[in-house]
Structure formats: structure tokens, C-alpha cells
Structure 1
């Protein structure tokens, strides 16, 4: 009996780029495709392309939900900023579909493709297991639950994390490249962090610190329908689609182009050693080892962030002209994180008078003096979460730190009898401000001070015992 490959993205490498083609041709069967030369290599290229497309969905939408960015126009989701998250929202389904497609591609690769290709290497199988693990990590972090198979039972985040750990163990056993093994190890630390297992999280984070500048990035291809969408929203679009909260202005744009847009697509850093330090510091602070946590954070500044690249960029065209707000500060002004904060300088850049300096991997305004001054558990935890926000900006991580999760999509519900009514409700903690207040600010033109409506890191610490956040405390 012949079977046909339908709606599965198969990609081939062409001059180092992604070239996608859907195998909907009725003359191309599974049997024919699986006999092609180096089919594992071809399949892995397709999986990498799907990783890029999945990160696009995750980053664009979760950054909007969070307090990092707001939709300054109308092109993208119009309610995530509130935040309002409905199971019938098309973007909820798009995110879920992208993650599940990534999982299914990895599973097909491991169960079918590698068995058909005798030239498959251990390293290729390791990468497939790693991508499978990453799909389960995203499932657990971003959703209240997701099926673990087509039309299967809805698995809890903890169940997805368990599957991720199993896949990572298999990937680690097969991988021979030392840096790749460290990246897998750091992802394993992240999973244990998500599970609230401080002992295991610290163990694997410490192991990953063997390379203090560890970095794993996802590339994009603007010529073959796999561009970095967030770069488009932040920089490449002639209309400024997204705008950062003003206190994060100094970190924007993490992605940009200096040449032809399609040929200059910046990568996304989705595994980096900064996370190891942050996991350890949070575990130490949660256990009231405050001096140790301070040391870890200062080492993070000196040994990692200070050595990450900083570029000089002309951003004179940035006018925050999307239209939803017309009072965004366009010159250097002072900011206050909330109405009770002191005035701070250097957070909003003047892009009209000279080039700006942008951190392309990680940046923060937290200093060693700030860390030395943090002498209580709450003060240290505040800096940990502020640094997490600044370091991971534009990488799709902040929504999870806020304790927000998407529901199972309506499309899944209509096609999967295992979906229950409880699965259709988003997780939005009660302490999350509504009515777009997370992104709100006032700009006093007379005094030259911009004040944020809320300091969400302060809000997080004040609610540190809420079950949705601070995994080492709850």
C-alpha cells in the first residue's frame, strides 16, 4: 500500500539557504521520498526551517503579551497587549500549530527517516532528539496543556517537561560536539528550572557554565519565506509596528539590517550561557544564600555580558510612528520604573544625533553596585528578574516569567475529543494588570521624565508566592 507525504515541510539546502517545498504532488509517495539520497540531511534542513518558523510565532506573540513590547499599529494581534487571550484567537492556533509541527517533524525523522537512510549519523539523530525536546519545552512553558500526539490526550506542562528530559538524555548520548552537548545540558537545566527542581537545575546549569560564552542561535532566510519576523516588526518595516516599554528602549532593536533586508536577517539566540548564571542566582536567592547570589550575578556581568558583542547602529529612521501612541519619547529623557521610583538616565536613546550602541546577544543596565546594594531576598530576586527581562528581550521568554500561558486552541478542540473545557482557558495570574496597563506610561514633556504605569518586576516580587511564578519558591 502506498502512502503519500501530505502537508509536511521538506526542505533542501541550496547555497546555504532554506528552500521549502510541500510534497503535495500525488506522484511522490513516502516510499519514493525515503529512497532519495541523504534523506536525513534533507529532513534535518526542513526541521531547522520549521524551528525558525516556530520561533517567529513564539517571539512575535509572546513579546506582545508581555510588558516588553506593545503593538503600535494594527498589523499584528490587537488584544494580546490587554492581555486578552482567547482559545478562538487565530494567533493562539498559529503558535500551537507551529510547535506541534516541529514535534511531528522530529518524530517522523526519528521513527521513519533515520531508518530509511543508512548514512544517518549519530550527530544527526542527536539534533532530531534535541529539536523534539525543544518542542516539548515550548509546549510546557507557553500552554496550559497541549496534546503530545495528533488528536491525543492533552498533556500537562510537567508531562511535556518529562518528555523533554527523556529526549535530551538521548540527544546527549549521541552528540559528540562539546559545545552542542553543553547547549543540550543548559536546556536540560531550563527544564528542571521550569519544574522547580533547584538541585537538578543548578547541577546542569553549573555543567553548562564550562563555556561561559556558550551560544546557540537560529538562523533565518529572507529569500525563501523564512525571514526573522521580529526583525521586520522592530526595524525593517517602514512603519514602526512594535515599540518597547520606554525603560527597555536602550535594548531595541536586537535585530536589524544594514544591507538588503532579505540578505541581512539576524539570528535569534535561544540558548545562551547567561541563563545558567540566572538559574543558579535565583536558586541561591530563593534559598536565602544572598551573598552567593550576588557573586553569581556579578560574575554574569563580568564574565559573560561584558564580553558579548555591541554594535554601533544608525537608527535615525526610528520614529515610533505606528500610530497607536503618539507620545513615545524620541530623544534622551529620564525614566522612572513606576511613580515611586527615582529618575534614571540612559534608558531612552536619542537616535537622531548619532549612532546608538545595541547589544546583539545580551545587555543590561544592572551594575555591580546595584547588586552589592541588594541585601534582602526580595531585592536580589528583583534584580534576577529584571536581568532576565533585559537579557532575554526579543527572545520570547518574558511571558513565561509573568506566569501567563496560552490555552488549547479552538481548532484543536473541534478536532480532538480529548480536549476538556478547562483546557480552553488561558492562565493569566490575578496580579497581572489589565487594560494594557503593563505597557502604559506617561511622558511629561515639561520635566523630561517618562514614568511607567507599573514596574512588573516589583509586581512579581510582591507576588512571589503565587503558584504561577518563581518556580524555586512555589
Structure 2
């Protein structure tokens, strides 16, 4: 434990704007560190840094696994686009390590640091419990299972969710800031959603809707080693790295810079009121409360999405020229979600002739008319999941909606005798197209129509009783 904590202390004390500006001292020990003034404050800044680094790992890799983005050039995993997920993949280990590091930071902070610092406040304890809960949520949503302690038993997603609920209850009890308390409440709704507990998910989602514009974001620091990696891949890189599925082109880039790259790092929205509306709507649809669900989704559009910040951006350098595929549309062509779909406009933008509008928090092309026309359970479920995809794009949420989970990494297996053979196999539902099918499309330059090979939301509906998806249907 001392070796681990010494490593953490070095990271905590690295000079960094979002963490403070203390000097890195590799000779410091945990015993000495714990006697420093305001050690809880320093530890929390280190935990926030690890949140940023963990989100980088999660967002970059899960967006590639999903149908949201294709790796059109970068050295990031090209297997995840297939999707092929092996327990010996270095990216699998990097994601797992980041999440477990976040958990251990919070546990050490709560058990050791706060006891050493008599100035620790309840609000600081609340934030530590919140971060602990978030580490368990990521463990449960993204992995077949993960240990809950160093070399410990591999815990199921359900166990991680229960640990998250316990930590969130403690965070809510200690937190005095009303907005933060509401953010924790929304995260609790998300956990009950993950657990398939419709009754509790409804209660906490409804409570969180008290603030229709609730928002919690993770900041990044481009000057001191914690840049927003997804911003780099989407916008800042001189070569176009990640390309969105053409029907999602209008939502790209969610992160961008208009000034100096290092100084203009956009935050990630990881708790936002949109989720409360989407959870409630899915509960209602699953219970065949179709009229109520329509109202909830329309309120989401008017009361939340329409009021989120939209900026005008010059994106004329975007050429989708990464190199793995050279046929991405670059002008305002029509789109079909699959071969049987109608031709739709507004999904692919022409970035060369004028500025584009960028939805910085949430965007969707679902309209109130679309919602009114969806009069069956399947039609409304389809819209819920299409809206989840569009609203959460570039936030690392889509892979979970597709029912995909990572395996326990080979590194963990080699060091932890509790890892079983079953823990080493990724969860990829049988209905998921392979061979890069989720990212595939055809571009008919003669007719000016781009057609997706698969409409994954339609495929989800066709398989709605599968155990990996739709928590309230099964």
C-alpha cells in the first residue's frame, strides 16, 4: 500500500492548474505527506485530476467500441471498431487501471487522509464519497466484473451498483450545496436505472428534474498533463483522427478550441438533467404509459435541450482525411439510417461554406412531431434510445446502451488469483454486427445520399428482450 500511495502522492503534488501548483517531490513519503497542512484539500485535487484521466480512458475507448465514432487514423485501438475486445488488449488494462486507481484514491482519502486532517469538512467528505460511487458505477457499467479491492474478489456489476448507492447516500447526507446534492441524486437515478429498478429510478429521476438545467462537468488542463483527449481526436489534431457515423455528423465536434489549444480545453458534461428526463421516459414507455412518455420527451426538448448553449464554430479545416476511409461526406448530403429508411436532411453539415452550429452540451434532431407520431411502445423506445445516443454522444455512454462490456484484463489475471476464466471474456451481444458493421455506410455521390449499413437503434428494438439491454423490459 505504501508503494501505491507514494505513487499517488507524486501525482497529487505534480504542478497543475486544476490541482494547485505545489512542487513535485519524489522523495516525499505518505507519513510525511499526511502531516502537511490541508492535506484533504490536496488529496481532493489529486482525485479530481484522476477523474479527468479516467474520463479520457473511458470516453476515447468506449466511443470507438460503439457506433458513434470510427478510428479513421489514430494509434488508438483499431480492434474496438470491429468490435473485438480481448482481455490482453493494453487499452482494456488502461481503462481498468484508471477506474481502480480512482476507487483506491477515494478509499484512501476516506479512511486515512480525512482522519489525519482535522480541518476536513463534510463537503469534502461528500465529494470523496461521490467519486468513490462514480468509480463503482464505471466498474459496473463497463466491465463484466472488477475487483473491489487490491487482488480481491471480482465483483459483479450488481455488487458495484450497490456499493455506489451506499456511497451516494453518504455523499448526499454530507453535502450542503443544493445543486451538488441534486447532481448526486441524479447519479443515484442512473444507478437504479442500471440495476433495472424502475420504481426507484423514477423517484430519483423525478427529484433531479427539480432543476431542468442541472449540469456537472469535468474540467481539463491542457498545460499540465490532463488535456481532454477526445477534443484532440475530434478537433485539435492537425490530422482528423475520429470520424462520427454520418448520421451523427451534425453533433461533431462537441469539444473544440477557438484559442490556444492548451488554454482552451472544453469540459465533459457527465451529469446533466437530460438524463433524468430520458430515464423517466424509458420507465414510462416500459410501463406502457405512452402519453406520459411523449410529454416527458417533449418537455426534454423544450425545457432542457433548447436552452443549452449552442455556439457558431468555424470548422472548415475538417476533411475527415484520417486515411482508413476516404469516402466520408463533406457536404450537406441526404442520409438514410439504413437501406429501408427515408432520405433525411440536416444530418451532414457543409463546413466549408459557413460556420456550423455546435451543441456544446446536448443536441438532437428528434422533433416534437416525431414524438407525437410515435404511438407504440417500440416506436417510443426507439426515440428514447436515439435521443440517448444523440444527447450523450462523445460522453462515453453509448457502449453501455449497446450491452457491451469489457473483460477483466490479463494484467489483473496474472496478479490476482481470484480472477476466473469467465471474467476474461468480453460481453458482446449476439445482435451486435461485427467486421466494423456498426460504423459502415455507403456514399452514393451520384444521388447525394449516404446510407448507414445498420440502424443500431432499430436493432436494439428488435432485440429488446435480450438480457444485456433495456433494463426495464427484462
| Same fold flag (TM > 0.5) | yes
Give the equivalent residue in structure 1 for 2:41: 41
**Partner of 1:451: helix, strand, or coil?**
strand
Alpha-carbon distance, 1:191 to partner: 0.2
Q: Distance in 1 between matches of 2:46 and 2:364?
A: 35
Is 1:211 aligned to residue 228 of structure 2?
no
Aligned to 2:302: 302
Unaligned segments of structure 1, at least 5 residues: none
1:12-31 to 2 correspondences below 5 Å: 16=18, 24-25=26-27, 28-31=28-31
- Displacement of 1:70 in angstroms is 0.4
Q: Deviations over 1:188-243 (max 9, x none)?
A: 00000000000000000000011000000000000010000000000000000000
Does the residue aligned with 2:277 lie in a helix, a strand or coil?
helix
Q: Which residue of 1 aligns with 2:255?
A: 255
The question of whether the paired residues in 1 share the 8 Å contact of 2:401 and 2:469 is answered with: yes
Which residues of 2 match residues 7-86 of structure 1 at below 5 A? 7-8=7-8, 9-11=11-13, 16=18, 24-25=26-27, 28-86=28-86
What per-residue deviation string (whole Å, max 9, x for no partner) do you get for residues 348-392 of structure 1?
000000000010000000000000000000000000000000000
Q: Counterparts of 1:219 and 1:37 in 2: how far apart (Å)?
A: 25
Residue matched to 1:129: 129
Shift of 1:296: 0.3
- Which residue of 2 is the match for residue 186 of structure 1? 186
Counterpart-to-counterpart distance in 1, 2:150 and 2:134 = 18
Confirm or deny: 8 A CA contact 2:15 2:24 kept in the other structure: no
Number of the residue aligned with 1:224? 224
Partner Cα separation in structure 2 for residue 23 and residue 405 of structure 1: 38
SS at structure 1 position matched to 2:413: helix
Q: Quote the residue 1:346 is aligned against.
A: 346
Q: Conserved in 2, the CA contact under 8 Å of 1:18 and 1:49?
A: no
Cα-to-partner distance string for 1:399-456 (whole Å, 9 max, x where unaligned): 0000000000000000000000000000000000000000000000000000000000
Describe the SS at the equivalent of 1:6: helix
8 A Cα contact 2:14 2:24, kept in partner? no
Q: For residue 427 of structure 2, what is the aligned residue in structure 1?
A: 427
Cα shift at 1:11: 3.6
Distance in 2 between residues matched to 1:245 and 1:283, nearest whole Å: 28
Q: Is the 8 A contact 1:11 1:49 kept in 2?
A: no
1:116 positional shift: 0.3
Conserved? CA contact 1:144–1:156, under 8 Å: yes
- In 1, distance between residues paired with 2:4 and 2:241? 41
Q: Give 1:29 deviation, angstroms.
A: 2.0
Counterpart-to-counterpart distance in 2, 1:357 and 1:30: 49
Q: Report SS of the residue matched to 1:7.
A: helix
Tell me what 2:93 maps to: 93
Is there any run of 5+ residues in structure 2 with no aligned partner, and where?
none
Q: Are the counterparts in 1 of residues 17 and 221 from structure 2 also a CA contact under 8 Å?
A: no
Match of 2:197 in 1: 197
In structure 2, the partner of 1:445 is 445
Question: 2:169 maps to which residue?
Answer: 169
Per the alignment, residue 321 of structure 1 pairs with 321
Report if the CA contact (8 A) 1:6-1:23 is conserved.
no
Q: Tell me, in whole angstroms, the C-alpha distance in 2 between the residues paired with 1:3 and 1:440.
A: 46
Change (3 A) 1:306 1:132: same
Query: Which residue is equivalent to 1:400?
Result: 400
Distance in 1 (CA, whole Å) between partners of 2:160 and 2:177 is: 26
Determine the C-alpha separation between the residues in 2 that align with 1:74 and 1:127. Answer: 35
Structure 2 distance, partners of 1:465, 1:178, is 38
Change (3 A) 1:3 1:418: closer
8 Å contact kept, 2:6–2:30: no
SS at structure 1 position matched to 2:442: strand
* Alpha-carbon distance between aligned partners in 1 of 2:221 and 2:20, rounded to the nearest angstrom: 6
